[in-house]
Amino acid sequence: MKSRVAYQRVAPDALKSVGAITQYLDTCSIDHKLRALIDLRVSQMNGCAYCCDMHSNQARAAGERQQRLDCLPAWRETTFYDDRERAALAWAESVTKVAETGIPDEPFEELKKHFSEKEIVDLTIIVAMINTWNRISIAFRNSPPLRNEPIGAIA
């Protein structure tokens, strides 16, 4: 698939502004491993190959097991994720599908059992930002590079 616009070159100031929020998230109250899971799950939902590639790599670099990454689209069907992660994933999915869900009270009430108000705000900003990056990447057909590394043993 051919890229439509080199958006980083065409609008560097806009990207710098979006990047500033992303830099905040690098130091926010949510640990990198959970953030990578959220970023990956939302990117899967949105069909953003570039971000799926990036965030699966980030998750592995943060120590995430390959099996959990492989099963992330079906997280409700496994016991691989703890209650805190499940609450965050449900929240991320609900916020991503806001037009469909209206973000009902149930995922928010579950989230409050596991996260402080600050963490809830940070999680919500994480979800909003990955949705933003997904839309930019998909709109301009940003595609991940093909790597020729062999598939290693499952961690």
Identify whether 3 is part of a domain.
no
d(CA 103, CA 106): 8
d(CA 105, CA 115): 15
Identify whether 107 is part of a domain.
yes
Total number of domains in the chain: 1
Q: How confident is the model at residue 14 (pLDDT cuts 50, 70, 90)?
A: confident
Structure-model confidence comparison of residues 5 and 75, the more confident one: 75
Distances (CA, A) of 59 to 15, 63, 101, 130: 23, 6, 27, 15
Identify whether 22 is part of a domain.
yes
Mean pLDDT of 44-53: 96
pLDDT at residue number 152: 54
Identify whether 113 is part of a domain.
yes
Residue 5 pLDDT exceeds 90: no
Identify whether 149 is part of a domain.
no
Any residues with CB less than 8 A from the CB of 18 and at least 6 apart, and which?
129, 132, 133, 136
Domain encompassing residue 41: 11-139
Identify whether 2 is part of a domain.
no
Identify whether 95 is part of a domain.
yes
Identify whether 49 is part of a domain.
yes
Asked if 125 and 32 count as a contact pair (C-beta separation under 8 A), the reply is no
pLDDT at residue number 154: 46
Which CATH number is 79's domain given? 1.20.1290.10
Q: How confident is the model at residue 123 (pLDDT cuts 50, 70, 90)?
A: very high
Residue 19 pLDDT exceeds 70: yes
- For 2-11, 88-97, 113-122, 137-146, which range has the lowest pLDDT when averaged over its residues? 2-11
**For all residues of the chain together, what is the average pLDDT?**
91
Mean pLDDT of 107-133: 97
Any residues with CB less than 8 A from the CB of 77 and at least 6 apart, and which?
71
Q: pTM of the predicted model, to two decimals? A: 0.88
